[in-house]
Amino acid sequence: MRLMPAPTHAPARPPDAYRVLAGRSRQALLGALLRAERPMDATEAGRAVGLHRNTARVQLDVLRSAGLVRRFPEERASRGRPRMLYEAATTAADLLGAAERAASEAGDRAGYRDLARLLAAQLAERSDAAAAAVRAGRRWAAALDEHPLPAGPLPPGRAAEALAGVLARLGFAPEPDRSGSQILLHRCPFADVARESRAVVCGIHLGMLKATAERLDSPLQIEGLDPFVVEEPSLCVVRLAGADGGRR
């Protein structure tokens, strides 16, 4: 009798962090860890958001499997089984960028607004909030590689169009102007949160734009981002430097 080889199974793929962030309970638990700024066990974390410790433990382990939370045993001198503690494995700024990307991919952004508001408020309390937001935006840009940027030297006008393409996929409704000196943004996917925490949310967008422009083989540079130059309807302006006065 010929024995068939045992089937092999590919290792389980870690869940996508952006999809993990879609769960409201997981958003709440992650927010509790960020606010606490110290490790907590499942009982503490669950109590902070109104979940039973067993439910909290399951959701925390989902966050851990996605790399968003770390788990480790409590250091203790006494005998007995140590508590398992959890802490956020990344910063509020990076998570805000992840939440924005998740929202743009999901199409329905309502499920991410509460998380974005919580993360932005937590980050805004830091003394270096604006700089941290720009750094997070730069890291966010590196996560947008599934849509390759144009290769080869680009005149500024074409580079502006490439930037507009990235912004369009993220839901900003961009419009490069004829001079090539600016891109008008007719929509902000997180306008309500940006109005509350402008330095944080707009800083992340600015960092993402700067890093994306630097990856293009072009003299085009991001000079600045002017948020809400018109409130209703919403209009923000990306200012460009190195423009050639027209598209080629």
pLDDT one digit per residue (tens) for the chain, 248 residues: 444 444 333 333 345 666 777 778 888 898 888 878 789 999 999 999 999 999 999 999 999 888 888 899 988 767 778 889 999 877 666 777 666 666 666 655 555 666 677 677 777 777 788 888 898 888 888 777 667 888 888 888 889 999 999 999 888 999 998 877 999 999 988 888 888 888 888 998 999 999 999 999 999 999 999 999 998 888 999 999 986 544 44
- The per-residue pLDDT for 109 is 54
- The per-residue pLDDT for 44 is 96
- The per-residue pLDDT for 146 is 62
DSSP letter string, 111-125: HHHHHHHHHHHHHHT
Residues 6+ apart with CB under 8 A from 141: 207, 208, 209, 211, 212, 215
Q: Could you tell me the residue ranges of all domains in the chain?
A: 116-241
- The per-residue pLDDT for 174 is 95
DSSP letter string, 33-65: HHHHTS-B-HHHHHHHHT--HHHHHHHHHHHHH
- The per-residue pLDDT for 79 is 74
- The per-residue pLDDT for 12 is 39
Q: Extract the tokens encoding 121.
A: 């408020």
The predicted-structure confidence for 107-148, as pLDDT tens digits, reads as follows 555 556 666 776 777 777 777 888 888 988 888 887 776 678
Give me the phi and psi of 240, to 5 degrees please: -110, 145
Helix, strand, or coil (residue 155): coil
- The per-residue pLDDT for 239 is 96
- The per-residue pLDDT for 9 is 37
> Would the pTM count as exceeding 0.85?
no
| CATH number corresponding to 116-241 | 3.30.1380.20
